[in-house]
Structure 1
Amino acid sequence: MKRRQEAVPNGLSTNIPIGTLEASGALVTDVDGNQFIDLAGGIGTLNVGHSPAPVVEALKTQLDDFIHPVFPVSMYDSYIQLAEKLNSLMPGNSPKKTIFLNSGAEAVENAIKIARRYTGRPGIISFERGFHGRTYMTMSLTGKVKNFKAGFGPMPSDVYKVPYPYELRDSRKDEELLDHFSNLFQTGVDPEDIAAIIMEPVQGEGGLVVPSAEFVSGIRKICDKYGFVFIADEIQTGFARTGKLFAMEHFNIEPDLTVLSKSIGAGIPLAAVTGKADIMDAPKPKELGTTLGGSPLGCVAALKVLEMIEKENLADRAEEIGRQVKSRLESLSPYIGEVRGLGAMIGIEIVKDKTTMEPDPALVKQIVKKCYENGVFILTSGAFGNVIRLLPPLVITDEQLTEALDVMENVLAEMKQNTVAQP
């Protein structure tokens, strides 16, 4: 910790204060020999677990051939093979094309470039509480100020925010929320100046909030009516996390562009924009580019990730994980306002009182700390910082999941006892 404080800037935080020695599947061992069950999953990066053997072997084989000739200089088969695979797997029947990049934020930025080039319009609509990255364009799209945008302005212009459903805290119906677009077009921006709407099928950083199928369908209809590009940010929801290969499948929606990263490469840096071929072809040659994006290491890793998801039925496993977590925790504590999510993308909203539903971020911090002290990694999220976010590797065993949930139950029970004991 002393070396970290001297060498690494304060702005980069680390949730769990350990040094990792080795990790496999859903288990992490630190430099002191302590073992932990990982329910954080690299914030959604480790759907196929830590160091999956098929990915490791593919990486070793690739290293013997070449590391990275840079695709804009000379091509290699794994890039094209992975593009073909993703094009075939995306929701909808439209012909697709794919470009590979380094990170989720870079992929979002390129999706915005493509949408603007295709439509000839500048404006982008995103959602309150949404998260799309930490670069300047993606910060502007992000709907949360503290820890993300405060003090970094000015932000890029031509970005407009609208409400996203949040049934626990917002009683407005889908029709009322969708009416905000009409208000925006009357008082904020001409729809003829809007290029795209970008949305997460499930808000991750925003608190694991799931919209209704009617709301998502309404967004698709608005895009069709005004000629907007529908961009699905599947960076955290993709690759079987929600019980489908891509979360948009839950809503029977074909996006125009889909942004991918995190679990695509099992931890090897890789991101993608996959979309309808006519939209993807809007930029002219050399108007899109990246030096390190789509490296052979990332591409061979991603091909193995997709193979593992299919062979091990990890989408079904995500559904089973979600069922087990919800059945154990839903009515466990007076502090749990709601357990929600899709598949193994689970949010547990912690409140001071179930009547007022007042958020309790301080208690969440205590729960995270106590779980870590008892061998389990969990994360926080939400606009108020009061949601426990569970993103366990989909290869976690039933025994590991049961042990982790036992720890969470014991921690919550201890919190309840401490509260009762207070005068």
Structure 2
Amino acid sequence: MKQRILHAISIICILLLLAISSNAQNGASSAYTTFGVGRIESASTIKYQGMGGVGVALPTYYSINTLNPASLGSVEGEQMLIDLGIRSSFTTYEHNTESGNGLSGGLNNISLAFRSGKRLVTSFNIVQYSSIGYNVASSDYIEGTSTQIAKNYEGNGGLNKVAMSNALVLGKNLSLGLELSYIFGKLIKQENYASSIIGGELNVQYSDFLQQVCLQAGFQYKIPVGQSNLFVGAVYSPEIDFKTSREVETSSSSGAGIYEDLDREPYNIPMGYGAGLGWIDEHGIKIGFDYKFQNWAGVDYTNNLSEYKDSHRFSGGVEYQSRKSRRVNPFTWRLGGYYEDSYLEVKGKSLLDRGITAGIGVPMRSPHSYLNISINYGQRGTASNSLITENYYGMSVSMSILEAWFRKRKFD
């Protein structure tokens, strides 16, 4: 058993390096990621993304749920759960009379869960926490002159999250969870200026290095209702105040230089909490509803284009399991949707994000192991006030594998 655990840890270390490399090269594709740490990615695995991203109250039975550390309490004694997911997204843009598109993708998650004690379940997760990816061009007149200066803003990079979660099982129906994570990464923002008045081009690149240790706590409670079960869950995350360092690189026709900027931009993620309801009946139907809140109104960094306000997200989803067979695992079908009044207010307009999702779980040869495929369509932003409307189409794939790694061998 120890050899298998060491083997699993070795695989996760290798995949961690691949994840960091993948996420560094494949950021978001959205002009709205210019603000703060960029777009905060969905924390859920691919299976639950097909259900609108719900999961605060849904237990981890045969597929890892990363939205609530307390969900691990349902992992059985002989199970080793592994979940590997990748994602992709195609985005189209509309801004006044202009349009464009962009493609992004990368690793979604690497997750491993197992029972580490009689009442304790442990998991390790590697996920992308946030991503930046934009290229915006504009031009302005220099004040007091008729000379134009061309501006181009580019950004890429993002933050990665490595987490260890533990769930403590109290009785038959209650589990408490705690997640300890380390969030780190590099955010690159580049400004390019071109004008005859400055003698050609001026390029300035800001590289911000962020890191911090974070916590999340949660609980889940099961209420038996006949042959079905009602689940109640909640999560809480305290404020994250990132430790930062900044490197500035400049280049122009007169020369180049690299130096450390002591006047660093502060980066914070505010306190947040979520609550959810889940329902699983004896026929294999699973239903979930989530609400999430973050106190972005308390964040202090603003600019001339945007302000930060509290965010509210509502999501719901359903999973249906086809008729069971003795020979093969059943197919599962998923449908969901979400609506988010995000933390950004640009030019007096709230940035809304809404979409629908669907998914399928294709059974694999191993019992309770699945190939999960999720798709989604969503719209972000608005065309009013000369802003940008983004329509995005996503597809994600994962393997959820169940292995009986801890089963005792019998000898004749």
**TM-score normalised per structure 2:** 0.24
Higher relative contact order (CA 8 A, sep 6+): 1
**TM-score normalised per structure 1:** 0.24
Which structure: larger Rg?
2
